[in-house]
Amino acid sequence: MGNFRDAVDVRALRFAAGFPVLLAAGFAFCAFLLRPDLPEPLAVRWTDDGGAGFAPFTAYVVVGAAMIIASGWLVLSQAVPISRPAVLRRIMMGSGLALCLFVTSVLAAGLVGQAGLAEARDSRVDLTVLALGSGAALGLGFVMGFVFKADQRWSAEDDDALEMALAKELDPELADDSMGFWVHARSSVFVMIAIASVFPAALIAIAIPWVGALLVGIAAVAAGFLFARVKADRSGLHVFAAGLVRVMEVPAAAISAARPADVRAADYGGWGYRNHGGTLAMLVSSGPAVVVRKTDGHQLAVSSGSEASAARLADVLTRVAARARRENRQPGTGSTEPL
């Protein structure tokens, strides 16, 4: 991950990935606003006599949005690698912006030229919209090419990295007192979820589309809870279901003991996030895990992916818990007791 971030301009990557998608979404939204005034099907090719090729409204919008995204990603992505000359990156950024806007202008001109007509054969491309859109695309492309900063800049992320490097330099043991990793269920489990949800949803969607979409959404949420991001540092243990939803937060001082174990998910209520018999568990499968006992007597279990990860996580939690207890007993070194 570090090598990737060193090779690309993160800000340019965010823009290159996000702008075409947002522009395509805006085009689709405006197209649906015009939908009541448009004929069916729509013209997609014109001759001197009018519309000559036709397509359904949905196909026009979906394919048009895909063209905006594809053209934007194709050109804007060329401005992302920092190894390329700054002038080339500026040109690619400006050209990508102009191309996205030009494609959108052509699609919009085709729609506006058919608004209010009962038959798409009588339509023409709206030249006013095409001219205004093309001019704006060209002008904004030039502006983007000049204002885009192709040189590397210091950012808040660099500040965080510097602070972390200084902390590790001043405290060599800090790196040993922190770790993080992802765990997930076996691939066969996700295949089973897909088979049990996508195929029935496709059949249901023929009659009731929203029910099919709801079924797929529920399956996606269930699959997400079979992923977890586990992080341990001197502040304690942090577990995030699907990598985003915080489901466990245990301060280091609240940890009494931690040990690696080979667990059965059924003993803790099953896969995913569970509260079974007073024990919290975030298990993506049976197998290597870490069982943590808290100072209040409660327990929790977290999947570790492998026996080596389980042993290291238990060791880190044991060490940071002992450190937190020592600091709490020493006024002036983290204690909040008055001197």
Q: Is residue 171 part of a domain?
A: no
Max CA separation in the chain (angstroms)? 92
Host domain of residue 96: 2-147
Does residue 265 share a domain with residue 205? yes
* Rounded Cα gap, residues 252 and 205, in angstroms: 49
pLDDT in tens, 39-69: 888 888 878 777 778 888 888 889 989 999 9
Q: How confident is the model over 229-275, as pLDDT tens digits? A: 888 888 888 989 888 888 888 888 888 888 888 888 888 888 888 88
Q: What is the pLDDT of residues 125-169, one digit of tens each?
A: 888 888 988 888 888 888 888 888 776 655 666 667 677 667 666
Q: Is residue 189 domain-shared with residue 322, that is, in the same domain? A: yes
Give the per-residue pLDDT at 6. Answer: 67
- Which pLDDT does position 154 carry in this prediction? 58
Residue 159 lies in a domain: no
In percent, the amount of the chain with pLDDT more than 70 equals: 88
Choose one of 105, 125, 147: the last residue of a domain. Answer: 147
| Residue 289 sits in the same domain as residue 216 | yes
What's the pLDDT at 280? 85
Q: Are residues 125 and 255 in the same domain?
A: no
Q: What is the number of other CB atoms lying within 10 angstroms of the CB of residue 63?
A: 13
8 found inside a domain: yes
Q: Are residues 324 and 185 in the same domain?
A: yes
Domain-located, residue 157: no
Strands 236-241 and 245-251, bridge-based pairing: antiparallel
- Same structural domain for residues 24 and 108? yes
The total of structural domains in the chain comes to 2
Contact assessment for residue 215 and residue 224, using Cβ atoms and an 8 Å cutoff: no
**Same domain assignment for residues 235 and 137:** no
pLDDT beyond 50 at 5: yes
Tell me: do 184 and 316 sit in the same domain.
Answer: yes
- Asked if residue 136 and residue 187 are part of one domain, the reply reads no
pLDDT of residue 263: 87
The answer to whether position 22 is within a domain reads: yes
pLDDT of the residue at 336: 43
Q: Is the pLDDT of residue 338 over 50?
A: no
Of 147, 168, 190, which marks where a domain is finished? 147
On the question of pLDDT at 94 being above 80, the answer is: yes
Residue 334 CA: distances (Å) to CA of 168, 205, 253, 311, 324? 19, 59, 12, 28, 9
Q: Is residue 185 part of a domain?
A: yes
Tens-digit pLDDT profile for residues 22-42: 999 998 998 888 888 888 888
Residue 162 domain flag: no
CATH number at residue 324: 2.30.29.30
Average pLDDT rounded to a whole number, residues 283-303: 87
167: in domain: no
**137 and 6, same domain (yes or no):** yes
Whole-number pLDDT of residue 122: 77
Same domain, 9 and 126: yes
Q: Indicate whether 187 and 143 sit together in one domain.
A: no
